[in-house]
Chain A
Amino acid sequence: MLGPVLFFVFAVLALVGALGMLIARNPVVSALWMVMNLFSIACLYLTLNAQFIALIQILVYAGAIMVLFLFVIMLLNLGEVPRIPAFDWRKGVTFLLGVAVLAQILYVVALGLDVAPAVAVTEAEEAANGTAAAVGVVLFTRYAFALQIIGVLLLAATIGAVLLAKKRFV
């Protein structure tokens, strides 16, 4: 059975990517770790039979958004952050806060969400659910209005970005 093996491989890769993004001192290295994380999550989508989402994850996230991030980091010519020698007690408190949040979420997952679907979902249903055709049908009928709003939002974001990045701002 290949399923569990694939899940664990890509889960570990995603975690390594996320931790690398958090720890790396150089912003470029940080962004590249993030690309690895995004690719692993795309592969996890494939293990869930969501081909369409996996493809736009790679195209939009790993392709477009991360290139934008790398471009801005290179444009600003950011160097490495200086290492802070002494232990910062605020970082310790922050870390404990993060562990507390994680414990809460995992507690909720372990406690209440052992839900099974009312009607058992077959493999074929799962596979049909993740195709571009299945998503497209719903997207262009029930969510057609929301889709148009997203179009307006992207246009507004483009105009806003151009205005913000212009030389003479304010």
Chain B
Amino acid sequence: MEITLNWYLSLSAVLFVIGVLGVLLRRNAIIIFLSVELMLNAVNLTLVAFSQAFADVDGLVLVFFVMSVAAAEAAVGLAIVIALFRNKTTVDVNEMSLFRG
């Protein structure tokens, strides 16, 4: 049997939904970040699969940019987690109610 584009897209969909469930179910801010990274990875897999199916290099360039933005996001996000941990001594998002007055 031959592995077609749809196999990669389906795998990517499953990985993306595991990331969605991680964001919705887990209460640890760092695990939520990891789940967001998982979702970005799932989308990257889609981009690479399409790029190779159509022999178009633009998809790979987009993956490169997604990875750069993910790196920037991880640095700033983890710095925010550290700053919050200093104030609250927890990373549980249920304890974060700064906007609720």
- Please, which residue of chain B has its CB at the minimum distance from the CB of A153? B72
User: Is the CB–CB distance between B61 and A169 below 8 Å?
Assistant: no
Nearest CB in chain B: distance from A26 CB, A: 10
Chain A residues within 8 Å of chain B by Cβ, number: 78
Do B55 and A125 touch (CB < 8 A)?
A: yes
- Among A18, A56, A125, point to the contact of B38 (Cβ < 8 A): A18
Residues of B within 8 A of A78 (CB): 28, 30, 91
Closest to A109 in B: B9
What is the bound-complex CA distance between A59 and B45, given in angstroms?
16
CA distance A52 to B67 in the complex (A): 13
CB contact between A109 and one of B6, B34, B68 (< 8 Å): that residue: B6
Q: How would you classify the secondary structure of chain B's contact residues: helix, strand, loop or mixed?
A: helix
A-B contact pairs, 5 of them (CB 8 A): A37-B15, A60-B67, A106-B10, A121-B52, A157-B72
Measuring CB to CB, which residues of chain A are less than 8 angstroms from any residue of chain B? 3-4, 7, 11, 14-15, 18-19, 21-22, 27, 30-31, 34, 37-38, 41, 44-45, 47-50, 52-53, 56-57, 60-61, 64-65, 68-69, 72-73, 75-76, 78, 81, 91, 94-95, 97-99, 101-102, 105-106, 109-110, 113-115, 117, 121, 125-126, 129-130, 134-135, 138-139, 143, 146, 150, 153-154, 156-158, 160-162, 164-165, 169
State the B residues within 8 Å of A (CB). Answer: 1-3, 5-11, 13-22, 24-28, 30-31, 33-35, 37-38, 41, 44-45, 48-49, 51-58, 60-61, 63-65, 67-76, 78-83, 85-86, 91
